[in-house]
Amino acid sequence: MHSIRTPGKINLTLRVLGRRDDGFHELETVLYPVPLFDELEIELTRRPGVELQCRCPQIPTGDDNLICRAARLFRQAAGTEDGLAVRLEKRIPVQAGLGGGSSDAAATLTALNRIYDGVLSRTVLEDLASQLGSDVPFFLADGPALATGRGEKVARLTPFASFRGVGLVLVHPGFGVSAAWAYSRIQPSDWKVPAPAATTEILAAFRSGDWSGSLNGLHNSLERPVFEKYPVLAVIRSELLAAGAQGALMSGSGSTVFGLVREHRQAEEVRQRFLASYGESCWSRSLVLD
C-alpha cells in the first residue's frame, strides 16, 4: 500500500485576461501551497478497474471522480491493466477554491508512477495532469508557481521571503461554488488586464520580503460575480479584515476566503476574533505557510 498526503492551495492573484478561442479563459495566477491535506492510500489488487472509497458523502466515487480519471489515464499511458483500490481521507473542503480535487488527482499520478518505478516521464505526467484540469499540473511539485494559459502552464517560483512563517486563516461558509459557473459569469469588465510589469512587480515584492507590497498584489477577478450571488463571502472577507487580517481574498472560484497576518502566532487570534463576531457556523482553520 502506498500513502500520500495531498496539499491544498490558495490563489494570491487570479487575473482573468480574456476568453480564449477554445472556450476557456486566459489566466494569470500565483498559486501557493497550504499545509491542509487530504490523504490517499493506493494499492494494487487482482480485481479489475479502479475502486475508490471515501467516507465523505459529498465525494462521488464513480468513474467521473478525478482520482478515478487520473488512474485510468495513468494505466492507459503505462500500458497496465492492474486493478487499483484507492481510499481517500477527505479533509480539504469540497468546491472550496482550495484545489482539493486537483491535488488528489495529481497525487494519484505521482503515487502510481512511484509504484511503477517511474515508468512515465515528467513530461508525460504533466500532459496527463493538464488533461485532467487546469490546477492539476501545479500539484505535481511543491512550492509556489505562476500559472498561465488556462492554468496548465506552470512556472515554478522560489519560496517567497515575505511568506515564510506567515499566518493563514481559512474560512469556508459550508457551501461550494462551481468553478464552471463562476467563470461563466465573468464579464469583459472583469478582465483587469495588468500592465506588462504588474506581475513582475508583485512577484518581486513576494520574493524580497516586501510585506505591504505583497498584500497590494492580492487580486481575484472572480470575486465580483461570485460575491454578487453569494454576498456572505464579501461579509466574511470584511470580518476577517476587521478581526486583524492584514490582507484577505477569495481563493480561486470560492467559496473559501483567506486572511493573512505577518506573524503566524496571530493567525489563531484572528480566527477566534472572527468567530466571536461572525459566529461559529462555518468551517475555519489557522495555519502557517512555509
Exposure letters 121-130 (e unless 16+ CB within 10 A, then b): eeebbbebbb
Per residue in 21-40, pLDDT (tens digit) is: 887 888 999 999 999 999 99
Question: pTM for the whole thing?
Answer: 0.94
Active-site residue identified among 104, 135, 153, 229: 135
User: Which pLDDT score is estimated for 192?
Assistant: 59
pLDDT at 197: 60
Instruction: Confirm if 270 and 245 have CB atoms less than 8 A apart.
Output: yes
Non-local (6+) Cβ contacts of 218 within 8 A are 12, 13, 247, 248, 249
Residue 287 C-alpha from the chain's centroid? 15
Question: Structural domains in the chain?
Answer: 2-156 (3.30.230.10), 161-288 (3.30.70.890)
Residue of higher predicted confidence among 263 and 202: 263
pLDDT of residue 160: 83
Comparison of pLDDT for 114 and 164, the residue scoring more: 114
Per residue in 230-254, pLDDT tens? 999 999 999 999 999 999 999 999 9
Q: Tell how strand 219-220 and strand 247-250 pair up.
A: unpaired
pLDDT of 196: 57
Which of the following is catalytic: 9, 38, 90, 210? Answer: 9
Going by pLDDT thresholds of 50, 70 and 90, the confidence category of residue 208 is confident
Higher-scoring residue by pLDDT: 194, 273: 273
Residue % of the chain over a pLDDT of 90: 74
Looking up cell 480519471, which residue turns up?
A: 69
Q: How confident is the model at residue 19 (pLDDT cuts 50, 70, 90)?
A: confident
Q: Is 229 a catalytic residue?
A: no
pLDDT of residue 194: 58
DSSP code at position 281:
-
The reported pLDDT for the residue numbered 217 is 85
pLDDT band at residue 159, thresholds of 50, 70 and 90? Answer: confident
Mean pLDDT score of the chain = 92
For residue 38, indicate whether it is catalytic. no
